[in-house]
């Protein structure tokens, strides 16, 4: 009789122990997954920075080209820094690649994620100025199709939104956990409305503007990708104004999407990912990583990662 009574007690204890183990298991964290995506992006950049082209004087000359059309107070430091890189190409590029490698590894390692994110913000702002010429936003060449407002500044934005805050707050989406829903929505709105604005600038609504941007990306690409670019360029040839208006309208809808009810917000975020993918394939030619000389995959993948950070979380049951 006693044996019969004891057995269920052991079973109950084992059941409770298993339940405790299951409760102790870490729940998959969307923010951590996005941080790892950001870390992977930095590691990809580091790998591209180790290309042989980057160790040549041509890399410094490429950096100097970002000064064109910018105000003097922006252009002069770019030219000075590019000259140093050109004179010490191997040393400078080794340093650049190593920094990006450390940023990626630091974000990927949980114990160093905060200092690595902080360092990535500072590095991204510096590269945005000295490596991208502020993404062309001051010289009239910025376009959603060429990575405006500069791919690297999106790294900084993601670092801010994915910061592991000391005090967690209830948030409708992951990007709101660190800065709050209102601030996160404003940052999203500013980014996507700026893209809509750039799509409508005179340089981008000219009849052959979009076609020209796409055609330029075909240079140096593999034959199949060059053919895709040429086909896309032919499709919008002479339709610069109409294409710019359609693109701007889509970008404006995306900008407003995070203010909509959950189902509509999800639809807007899906649209954001589709538009980002189209831009990456047809406007950025996969960041020109197959042509050599690319320092990063450009803005397309980062915009997709950003959209995932705004994906509405499930309502508490």
Chain-centre distance for alpha carbon 99 = 18
Q: Which residues pair with 173 in a beta bridge?
A: 312
Question: Rounded to whole angstroms, how far apart are CA atoms 103 and 107?
Answer: 6
Answer whether residue 14 is part of any domain: no
Q: Which residues pair with 312 in a beta bridge?
A: 173
What's the DSSP call for residue 291?
Answer: T
Which position has the token pair 């397309």? 300
Question: Could you tell me the pTM of the whole model?
Answer: 0.88
Secondary structure of 55-95 in the HEC alphabet? Answer: HCHHHHHHHHHCCCCCCHHHHHHHHHHHHHHHHCHHHHHHH
pLDDT attached to residue 112? 97
pLDDT attached to residue 301? 96
Q: Is 204 exposed, middle or buried (0-12, 13-18, 19+ CB in 10 A)?
A: buried
Q: What is the radius of gyration, based on Cα positions, of the chain?
A: 23
Answer whether residue 202 is part of any domain: yes
Answer whether residue 82 is part of any domain: yes
pLDDT attached to residue 3? 46
Answer whether residue 6 is part of any domain: no
Answer whether residue 252 is part of any domain: yes
Q: Give the range of the structural domain holding residue 126, as residue numbers without chain letter.
A: 28-309
CB 139 within 8 A of CB 68: yes
- Tokens, residue 70: 């910018």
pLDDT attached to residue 14? 54
Q: Is 6 exposed, middle or buried (0-12, 13-18, 19+ CB in 10 A)?
A: exposed
Cα–Cα nearest to 97, from 284, 312, 295: 295
First to last CA, the chain: 44
pLDDT attached to residue 16? 53
Answer whether residue 260 is part of any domain: yes
Domain count, the chain: 1
What's the DSSP call for residue 283?
Answer: I
Question: Rounded to whole angstroms, how far apart are CA atoms 247 and 275?
Answer: 9
- Tokens, residue 170: 């209830």
Answer whether residue 135 is part of any domain: yes
CA separation, residue 34 to residues 21, 84, 235, 251, 265 (Å): 26, 35, 35, 23, 19
CB 61 within 8 A of CB 68: no
Q: Look at residue 110 and give its three-state secondary structure.
A: helix
Answer whether residue 282 is part of any domain: yes
Question: Rounded to whole angstroms, how far apart are CA atoms 41 and 123?
Answer: 14
Give me the average pLDDT of each 10-residue run along the chain (317 residues): 46 50 55 97 96 93 94 96 95 97 98 97 97 93 90 97 80 93 97 96 88 81 84 86 94 97 96 96 88 88 97 70
Q: Is 221 exposed, middle or buried (0-12, 13-18, 19+ CB in 10 A)?
A: buried
Half-sphere exposure of 202 (CA within 13 A, CB side): 2
């Amino acid at each position: 009789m006693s044996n019969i009574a004891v057995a269920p007690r052991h079973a109950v204890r084992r059941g409770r122990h298993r339940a405790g183990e299951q409760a102790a298991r870490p729940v998959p964290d969307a923010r951590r997954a996005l941080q790892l995506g950001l870390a992977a992006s930095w590691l990809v950049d580091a790998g591209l920075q180790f290309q042989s082209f980057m160790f040549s004087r041509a890399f410094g000359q490429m950096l100097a080209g970002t000064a064109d059309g910018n105000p003097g107070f922006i252009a002069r430091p770019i030219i000075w820094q590019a000259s140093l890189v050109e004179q010490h190409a191997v040393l400078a590029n080794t340093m650049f690649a190593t920094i990006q490698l450390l940023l990626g590894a630091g974000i990927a390692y949980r114990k160093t994620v905060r200092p690595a994110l902080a360092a990535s913000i500072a590095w991204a702002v510096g590269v945005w100025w000295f490596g991208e010429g502020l993404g062309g936003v001051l010289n009239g060449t910025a376009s959603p199709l060429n990575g405006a407002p500069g791919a690297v500044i999106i790294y900084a934005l993601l670092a801010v939104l994915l910061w592991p805050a000391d005090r967690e707050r209830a948030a409708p989406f992951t990007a709101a956990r660190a800065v709050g829903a209102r601030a996160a929505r404003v940052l999203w709105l500013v980014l996507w409305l700026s893209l809509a604005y750039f799509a409508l600038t005179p340089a981008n609504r000219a009849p052959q503007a979009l076609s020209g941007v796409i055609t330029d990306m075909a240079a140096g690409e593999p034959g199949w990708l060059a053919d895709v670019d040429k086909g896309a360029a032919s499709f919008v040839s002479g339709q610069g104004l109409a294409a710019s208006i359609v693109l701007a309208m889509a970008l404006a809808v995306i900008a407003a999407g995070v203010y909509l009810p959950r189902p509509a917000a999800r639809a807007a975020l899906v649209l954001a990912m589709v538009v980002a993918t189209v831009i990456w394939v047809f406007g950025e030619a996969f960041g020109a990583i197959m042509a050599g000389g690319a320092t990063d995959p450009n803005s397309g993948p980062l915009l997709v990662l950003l959209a995932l950070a705004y994906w509405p979380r499930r309502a508490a049951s």
